[in-house]
Amino acid sequence: METYMILRDLAVIILAAKFMGLVAKKCKAPMVVGEIIAGLLIGPCLLKFVQPSEFINQMAEIGVILIMFSAGLETNLKELKKSGPVALLIACVGVATPLAGGALLYMAVHGFAAPGTDEFFEGLFIGCIMTATSVGITVETLREMGYLSDHVGQTILSAAIIDDVIGIIVLTFVLGLKDPASSPMTTVIKTVLFLVLSLVVGYIVYRLVKKIDARYPHTRRIPIIGLGICFIMAYVAERYFGIADITGAYIAGIILCNIHDAGYIDRKVSINSYMIFAPVFFVSIGLKTDFSRIDSSMLFFSVAFVIVGMLTKVVGCGLTAKCVKFHWIDCLKIGVGMMTRGEVALIITNKGLNLGVIDSSYFTAVILLIIISSISVPILLKLLYSKRGNVKTA
């Protein structure tokens, strides 16, 4: 792609995202809803002003990394420790329920198959696509409404991060059924090693940055160092441990969240995120949608895929939250907050396509799930938080 075409695409994306974001805000909806709709309007789905490209995908990836880094910087560690065991339980059920629901849906449409057959494996893989929660949209919505740091917000955030790790482990196990050469145990070991490394190196980095911050408080070098740590952690997580880069970025934010200038780092990083990278991320979701390839049979499956994918998260996570003494309104917030799908679902789908596990036609169903969940979750969260009589967890 020529450089001037990149500049044109960025101009269209940023202006369309800002305009539709303001329209959404005027309609009392979160701005991210407008940005996703902007992608639908300017992309292949309607006006065809901008086509998806590798450059836009990479910009979008930086966008979600910065969102997660900011989320880590805003994390209340005391609240995270309190919600950790609960979030782990919610995440486990939030992975198991969609996995089973997706597999059963596939087999209900294509016929039940015996374990070990290709059909059984394909159904399991469809369920695997449903497992991952995309926390970026939920985080941005909660931050916009000012609820990211409360108990429910931190529980959603913690559960979504754990959900992502568990989803990748599940993917490895599922692929292991197809390819005997793959080693599920290796993934488990790598995940544990990454968490241990993050704990040890993170403490050293925290002490070092804390000293630098004390010597040069509120200077531009502090956010630059923080941003560098974010990208290093994101790179190491995915390159050497097979964990999503957004998990590494979030952990980088947690490492720095207790230094004196954590808020200053967050504000400086948010400028870049708000101006360019985050709008590109949200618009890119709409750009990837093309409804022209849907026939009647795939439309039926796609609709069922969306319904099952959203309901299994709400039911699984919501009921689990109720079992650990959350109030019903907070259970709904947690279930809805865990409902979004995004980059990890796309990564899993692409993995299946590259390995020939599933047909490319299923990509439409995944995109539809991402679009509908991404648009509906901010709206539903706003409605739930606007309810009078909201109560905090007992």
pLDDT at residue number 256: 95
Q: Would you say the pTM of this structure is higher than 0.85?
A: no
Residue 348 one-letter amino acid: I
* 16-25: pLDDT as tens digits: 999 999 998 8
pLDDT at residue number 110: 81
Domains, the chain, in order of start with CATH, read 60-281+297-386 (1.20.1530.20)
pLDDT at residue number 18: 94
Q: What is the CA radius of gyration of the chain?
A: 20
How far apart, in Å, are the Cα atoms of 79 and each of 1, 147, 158, 321? 46, 13, 10, 16
pLDDT at residue number 120: 83
pLDDT at residue number 369: 87
Give the up-direction half-sphere exposure of residue 111: CA atoms within 13 A in the CB hemisphere.
5
pLDDT at residue number 326: 92
* 45-95: pLDDT as tens digits: 889 999 989 899 899 889 989 988 998 898 777 766 777 788 889 999 999
pLDDT at residue number 293: 64
Give the up-direction half-sphere exposure of residue 162: CA atoms within 13 A in the CB hemisphere.
22
Find the DSSP H helices in the chain. 3-26, 31-42, 54-73, 77-110, 118-131, 135-145, 151-178, 184-215, 221-241, 245-256, 262-272, 278-287, 296-323, 328-337, 343-354, 362-386
Contact 126, 102 (CB under 8 A): yes
pLDDT at residue number 393: 43
> What parts of the chain have a pLDDT lower than 50?
389, 391-394
Q: How far apart are the C-alpha atoms of 207 and 212, rounded to whole Å?
A: 9
Q: Check the CA dihedral 115-132-308-362 and report its sign.
A: negative
